Structure 1
Amino acid sequence: MIDSRIFKHKLQRLRAGGCPRVLDLFSGCGGLSLGFKAAGFKIAGAVECEADAARSHGINFHGGDERYCKSHDITKTSPSDLTAGLGLGDAAGAFDILVGGPPCQAFARVGRSKLREVAEHPEAFRHDPRSRLYIEYLNYVEACAPLAVVIENVPDMLNHGGHNLAEEIADILTTRGYVARYTLLNAAFYGVPQMRERMILIAIRSEVADDIEFPEPSHWIDLPSGYTGSRAVALKLALAPAGTLSGYRAAPKPDGDLPSAVTAEQAIGDLPEILARELLAAGELRRGARKLDVAIPYTGHNLQSEYVRAMRQWPGYEGTATVWDHVIRYLPRDYRIFAGLKPGDQYPEASRYARQLFEDELRRLAQVGKRPLADSPQWRDLEARFVPPYDDSKFPNKWRKMESSMPARTLLAHLGKDGYSHIHYDSEQARPISVREAARLQSFPDGFRFAGTMNPAFRQIGNAVPPLLAKAVATSVMSQLCGNRQLEGLPLFASSARR
């Protein structure tokens, strides 16, 4: 049991003007870290098992110091080992805030009593390895004695295999002396050009707070029905009869008079064009790993939206006259299909258009006497060069052409292997989005660099918490911990202007 004087000492330090120190668990490249840093927190350490993501975090938050660029398996790295390796002394005194998004898949059938059993008996994970990652997170909470805990995860955490895992975690933290609440926040309401729904849990020591506040929205959008439907499913258990659950709080509602949500074009419209079909025809676009070490000058359309200025001028992560990481996937079969799609079109429309292109090619070959026999090997080879092999009744969402006038749909971690979910809205470019465009849609600034090659970078971006959403959460936590003292680094993209 942690000595209560440790919490008192930390609180006194913050109230005297000390900078809150953050440990980011399951940090990835650092979306949560970046948001907390922008809100005035110090990023004191991170735990991330994937090597490229850990190096990205170390580069962006610790100047590439090798101690911070190392990957760590949380199941093999104790809090004391971590702080010793970073020269931070005793784990109980090293951090004020723990943040992170531990994977939730392991808990599909673990109920509240089981989770409590595992949380209270450290060796229980040996009998139920599915629970291990969450238990390691809770072990860090126990060892590091933070004043506040922030957990981010997918909305399904509220209804995962028939269990409300967020409520279960909140219940455990409550027994450990925290006030814990959770809600669902959509990133588009917080200035992110992406309709990304996330569960956010905030827990603060009961010595500090008697309830939890969630950030007020800064932007407004009427979300598509698919998002509202998914939210209803996720909230089915949280909205059980009154008195059953104590942790859930409804998210603050956006005001229709707020600025409109940032659109895809406002987010990426200034970036240099990549004319995929022209590059392919010129032999300048080839198969192979895409490195992130080429700087491309800004040319052509130079849209200067408020959002673009924020991404280029983010303090400490400013852009330059060139753009990095602006690379795309090699998809020679599909660029011509992308060009023929309309905004909002998905795979059924793509499949029909591809079939039309194939039939057009058959007619052209027939005119010159070279049409292959139906179902011959030559016919099937030609068909494969035009028509994707996926069943359009089973993969309706596999492809989607973005709408320029709306925020993007949710970016996924496997974007590098399947970029069809975010096809650029500009038919002249006829391509999936680039690494830098994905970063912009997640609200990573232009000076934020990603370690590795294209696919690892896409994975890091897709797994990340949007920094602007993280900043909104962090600002709320800072206020609850430290009152309304003047904070540094807060003017970034915090417009409250009305439409």
Structure 2
Amino acid sequence: MKFIDLFAGAGGLSEGFTRAGFSAIAHVESDKAACFTLKTRQAYHWLKNNDSLNVYKYYLINKITRYELYQTIPEKEYNSVIHASISKNTLNNIFSKIDNLLNSEKLDVIIGGPPCQAYSLIGRARKNVLYDDRNELYIYYAAFLKRYKPKYFVFENVVGLLSAKDINGILYFDKMKKLFAQLGYEVSYKILSAYDYGVLQNRKRVIVIGKYGLKSIISFPDKKEHYLNIKVWDLFSDLPNIQAGEGSVKTQIKTKKDNCFLQDIGIKDDLPITWHQARPNSQQDLTIYHHVVDLWNKSKTRLKYADLPSILQTHKSKKSFNDRFKIVAGDLPFSHTIMAHLSKDGHYYIHPDIKQNRSITPREAARIQSFPDNYYFESTTERPSRSSVFKQIGNAVPVLFAESIATHLLRYF
């Protein structure tokens, strides 16, 4: 069952579908760093399927370069990642590349969700958001449906999609459904929480599933039973203790102990762990972090910015974003939502161990998003960029969430 992933990002949705047994024909993504991440993941899957994972391991421990890694895989795997912004001017070129990759075979599924500032409740507060061209990207998504007529499509987006309106006050979602219906697709949609599908994160998204042809109701995956007594700390507990500014991107990191839970859900394996590197912080930030974690440990209370000692309050506004410093509580069954803001600072994602006194690392954020440890996140050059990686992780669809949707969709084939 072949699929293409539009607005693919770092590939969380695609990874879930691949794990469920689907085969990726193409990924279309505008961010250059994310494209390298997708290419590296394609290399991983090809090498794994051809019993050559030792080559991938050499890359993770810096024995070979990224270029040398890509040289080991077929050109078709490398070319399946299309670096392009989807627009009126690029559609024909993208279609041509996908046509070549399909080689006259039938496409079964299109997945992906376009970014849109107007859909997000936070994004709507920004100036000129109603005039943002990204608001109409769903039209180009529909153009792929019109050309390839897959049996199904899976459209993922923020919950705000259901209430977002255009400049004329018309709901974007109503416009989408009308357009999809004109192309022959009956759609079902539902707000799902990633936590209900094995992800230790309170992340809610709208999932739209379209079926081509006859009208029929499409169901959604049943909630999964959770592992007994598993908490967020179980995602972190085997990683080496590090302080702010410590850690490494690509070295042979040894975990402290076996973690059956992480192995069972497909996060941990025998390959080296990457991106366990904490960002550096000022002494003032670290002092605030200590206050945040100490308060949670003593009373299970989240610190409000206005309650900090006055000497630590440097922001003029004490009412808005009063929770700008927040612990990722290790003793809760799920974390708050991982977002791309992690690329700017880690104040909203403070590590639960007061002795480490830092914000979470990219690897810890990736584990919250249920990415396997062998998933390597790239930068635009071979010089690692922590900010770029945090952005990719924050924007991604959790892998276990995507896998549950993909596995459920299999029943319709």
TM class by smaller structure: 0.7 to 0.9
Partner of 2:239: 271
Partner of 1:190: 197
Is the contact between residue 25 and residue 98 of structure 2 (CA under 8 Å) also seen in structure 1?
A: no
1:78 aligns with 2:91: yes
Q: Which 5+ residue runs of structure 1 have no aligned equivalent?
A: 1-19, 109-126, 220-257, 277-284, 359-385, 483-499
In structure 2, the CA distance between the partners of 1:259 and 1:167, relative to structure 1 (3 Å rule), is farther
Change beyond 3 A, Cα 1:354–1:434: farther
Aligned residue pair count = 356
Residue 58 of structure 1: how far off its partner (Å): 1.4
- Give 1:438-457 correspondences, 5 Å limit: 438-452=365-379, 453-457=385-389
The partner residue of 1:165 within 165, 172, 177 is 172
Q: Distance in 1 between matches of 2:337 and 2:141?
A: 26
Q: How does 1:145-164 map to 2 (within 5 A)?
A: 145-161=149-165, 164=171
1:40-439 matches, cutoff 5 A: 40-63=21-44, 64=70, 65-75=77-87, 76-78=89-91, 81-84=94-97, 87-89=100-102, 93-105=105-117, 129=133, 131-161=135-165, 164-207=171-214, 210-219=216-225, 259=227, 262-276=230-244, 285=245, 292-299=249-256, 302=257, 304-313=259-268, 318-320=269-271, 322-332=272-282, 333-341=284-292, 342-343=295-296, 345-346=301-302, 348=304, 350=305, 352-355=307-310, 358=311, 386-389=312-315, 391-406=317-332, 407-439=334-366
Is the contact made by 2:152 and 2:209 (CA closer than 8 Å) also made in structure 1? yes
Q: Deviations over 1:307-356 (max 9, x none)?
A: 3543445xxxx442x421001221122112212223365452x553443x
Aligned 8 A contact 1:337 1:354 in 2 = no
- Amino acid of the structure 2 residue aligned with 1:330: P
Distance 2:346 2:33 in 1: 20
Q: Which residue of 1 aligns with 2:391?
A: 459
Note the alpha carbon deviations across 1:419-466, whole angstroms, 9 max, x for none.
111111111111111000000000000001100111111000000000
- Give the conservation status (yes or no) of the 8 Å contact 1:188–1:196: yes
Normalized against structure 2, the TM-score is what?
A: 0.78
How much does 1:150 deviate? 0.5
- How far is the alpha carbon of 1:95 from its aligned partner? 2.1
Identity of aligned residues (%): 29
Distance across 2 between alignment mates of 1:390 and 1:309: 47
CA contact (8 A) 1:68 1:86 kept: no
- Superposed displacement of residue 21, structure 1: 0.6
**Quick check: 1:346–1:396 contact (8 Å CA) kept in 2?**
no
Equivalents in 2 of 1:89, 1:394: separation in Å?
50
Aligned to 1:369: none
Q: Residue 98 of structure 1 aligns to a residue in which SS?
A: strand
Map of 1:29 onto structure 2: 10
- Give, in whole Å, the separation in 1 of the partners of 2:230 and 2:175: 35
Quick one: which amino acid aligns to residue 157 of structure 1?
L
Distance 1:472 1:89 in 2: 26
Show CA shifts across 1:256-292 (max 9, x none): xx6558521122222111133xxxxxxxx38xxx973
Deviation string, structure 1 residues 193-238 (Cα, Å, up to 9, x no partner):
100010000001234x61101000004xxxxxxxxxxxxxxxxxxx
1:141-173: CA deviation from partner (whole Å, max 9, x where unpaired): 111111101000000001114654334322322
AA aligned to 2:274 is W
Whether the aligned pair in 2 keeps the contact of 1:49 and 1:71 (CA below 8 Å) is yes
Cα separation, 2, equivalents of 1:85 and 1:177 = 22
The residue aligned with 1:246 is: none
1:38 corresponds, among 2, 11, 19, to 19
- Judge conservation of contact 1:26–1:102 (CA < 8 Å) in 2: yes
Point out the more displaced range, 398-407 or 56-65. 56-65
Distance 1:298 1:445, change over 3 A: same
Residue 423 to residue 88, structure 1, CA distance change in 2 (3 Å) = same
Larger radius of gyration: 1
How far apart, CA to CA, are the structure 2 residues paired with 1:128 and 1:272? 44
Counterparts of 1:442 and 1:392, CA distance in 2 = 31
Q: Which one-letter code corresponds to 1:265 in the other structure?
A: W
Distance 2:181 2:249 in 1: 45
- In structure 2, the CA distance between the partners of 1:305 and 1:79, relative to structure 1 (3 Å rule), is farther
Provide runs of 4+ in structure 1 moved above 6 Å. none
Alignment check: 8 A CA contact 1:354 1:388 kept: no
Letter of the structure 2 residue corresponding to residue 267 of structure 1: L
Q: Distance in 1 between matches of 2:252 and 2:174?
A: 46
Are the aligned partners of 1:24 and 1:100 in contact in 2 as well (CA < 8 Å)?
Answer: yes
Displacement, 1:467? Answer: 0.8
- What does residue 56 of structure 2 align with? none
**Contact 2:362–2:390, Cα closer than 8 Å, also in 1:** yes
Cα RMSD after superposing both structures: 2.7
- The DSSP-based 3-state class of the residue aligned with 2:217 is coil
Amino acid at match of 2:390: F
Task: Give, in whole Å, the separation in 2 of the partners of 1:425 and 1:303.
Answer: 20
CA distance in structure 1 between the partners assigned to 2:4 and 2:197 by the alignment: 23
CA–CA separation in structure 2 for the residues paired with 1:192 and 1:397: 23
